Amino acid sequence: MDREDQFIVAVIAFFALGMASEILFRRTQIPDGLWLILIGIIAGPILGWVDAERLSILLPYFAPVALIVILFDGGSKLRLGSLRSTVGRSTLLALSTFAASSIVVALASWSVVVFSGLLPDWTWTKALILGCILGGSSSIVIMPTMQLAKVDATASNLVSMESAITDALCIVGTSLIITLALNMHLGALSGGEVATLFSKTIGVGFVAGVLSGALWLIILPFLKGPYNYPTTIMFLFLLYLLTKNLGGSPAFAVLLFSIILGNSRFLGKLLRFKGQRELDHDLKTMHSQISFLVKTFFFILIGVMFNFSLSSLVIALLLTALIALVRFPAVALGLKGSEFDQQTKNLAKICLPRGLAAGVLATMPLQMGIKGMERLSAIVFTVVSFSCVIFAVLFYRARRKLVVTNPSLAQTDERKVQNEISQQV
């Protein structure tokens, strides 16, 4: 076959494998991301059908696109009505698990890895960067898994919101440490300067997300017809670009915008806007298909770039084991005193997979000029693979004990909130 035929065959296989992975997930309860990673490992490192170096060139360009698509898909499906009982605990849980994982990974990479000689020229700054990259669970794995498995709404919202928040924390934390490393040595900055930089990153992202979401609520009734989705996705890319160049967290802004848009009907009534505001069905359908393509490509890429070198495997196994172990006390701390049942707490303890955010961030330090980070992508991608395997095994065992969601629960909760607000107003 010539190159044109090979490309067409690759496109056919791409769609077929993506659909097959979701069918396998529904039948086996093993997350589709793991099936795609295994396919990538077979096609790349084992059989050599796909060149990892060629695909890695695409990653810096693909990464922000994938991040925007996945955050919009996940954020727009989070309902404020059903989140009201979980958003506070999700935030505490996210802060607890992110802090614990980041610290443990940083300490491990500094002490064990450095003293063994597996990572030469390793500094505390690089250790903190790695800690932030691997600090949070992945929304690209957690959210689709909870939705496809039809997990109870309360449990699903808890871990989905946590993963969305930790994605933002990973990106904000990594960007902050990289900025500090590029400007001067970490210890040369005062606490006030670090706090100012962090506050600016979070604050700009928050303001940009909320203001853009409010703007889109106003113009949403006018967005009808074939240009609905292109206009919305174009604005998302513009929001990402502007927030990034203003020094804010673009991921945080996109997430807030998506949550506002996903709850447009509820917020429109709350703010007494005239006319009905709701995401168009065609927009939801189109974006779900785009999200499917992005997810399929990313996880196959993870498998293709899986590193079989002994040192990378040892480091990845160590870090994955520590991430899994530290999550148990971190979840216990984050949910201490909560009213969640034991099944929900057990679910939260196993939701440890790393994914898109980690893969995207692993390419940033080297691109931005931090030397000695050449092996970072290989290690992070391997941790992503191992963590997804652990999650798949534990979720398969826990799935049989979980309550299946009643599709009307989230809508019922939201109607209750709307009624309460209408009575107060």
Q: What does the pLDDT read at residue 352? A: 92
Q: In terms of pLDDT, which residue wins out, 195 or 85?
A: 195
CB atoms within 10 A of CB 150: 15
| CATH number of the domain within which 395 lies | 1.20.1530.20
Whole-number Å distance between alpha carbons of 58 and 43? 18
Whole-number Å distance between alpha carbons of 243 and 235? 12
Which residues, including other chains, have CB under 8 Å from residue 64's CB and lie 6 or more apart? 240, 250, 360
Whole-number Å distance between alpha carbons of 299 and 251? 20
In a domain, 330, yes or no: yes
Tokens of 184: 């001067």
Q: In terms of pLDDT, which residue wins out, 174 or 121?
A: 174
Q: What is the pTM of this model?
A: 0.77
Tokens of 163: 């993963």
Report the candidate in 178, 176, 161, 164 with the shortest Cα–Cα distance to residue 355.
Answer: 164
Number of folded domains in the chain?
Answer: 1
- The percentage of the chain sitting over the pLDDT mark of 90, rounded to a whole number, equals 17
In a domain, 76, yes or no: yes
In a domain, 387, yes or no: yes
Whole-number Å distance between alpha carbons of 352 and 319? 12
* Model pLDDT for residues 63-115, shown as the tens digit of each residue: 778 778 877 876 776 666 655 666 778 889 999 999 999 999 999 988 876 67
Q: What does the pLDDT read at residue 217? A: 83
Q: What does the pLDDT read at residue 95? A: 92
Whole-number Å distance between alpha carbons of 33 and 295? 8
Q: What does the pLDDT read at residue 419? A: 45
Q: What does the pLDDT read at residue 340? A: 85
In a domain, 1, yes or no: no
Whole-number Å distance between alpha carbons of 105 and 136? 11
| CA quadruple 125, 130, 134, 135: dihedral, nearest 10 | -10
Tokens of 193: 């300067």
Whole-number Å distance between alpha carbons of 288 and 55? 24
In a domain, 313, yes or no: yes
The pLDDT of residue 423 is above 50: no
- Owning domain of residue 272: 6-424
* Model pLDDT for residues 120-166, shown as the tens digit of each residue: 778 888 899 999 999 999 887 888 788 777 777 778 888 888 887 88
In a domain, 194, yes or no: yes
DSSP 403: P
* Model pLDDT for residues 317-363, shown as the tens digit of each residue: 999 999 999 999 999 999 988 888 888 888 999 999 998 778 878 87
In a domain, 59, yes or no: yes
Q: What does the pLDDT read at residue 421? A: 34
In a domain, 30, yes or no: yes
Whole-number Å distance between alpha carbons of 354 and 136? 7
Q: pLDDT band for position 242 (50/70/90)?
A: very high
Arithmetic mean of pLDDT over the chain: 79
Q: In terms of pLDDT, which residue wins out, 214 or 425?
A: 214
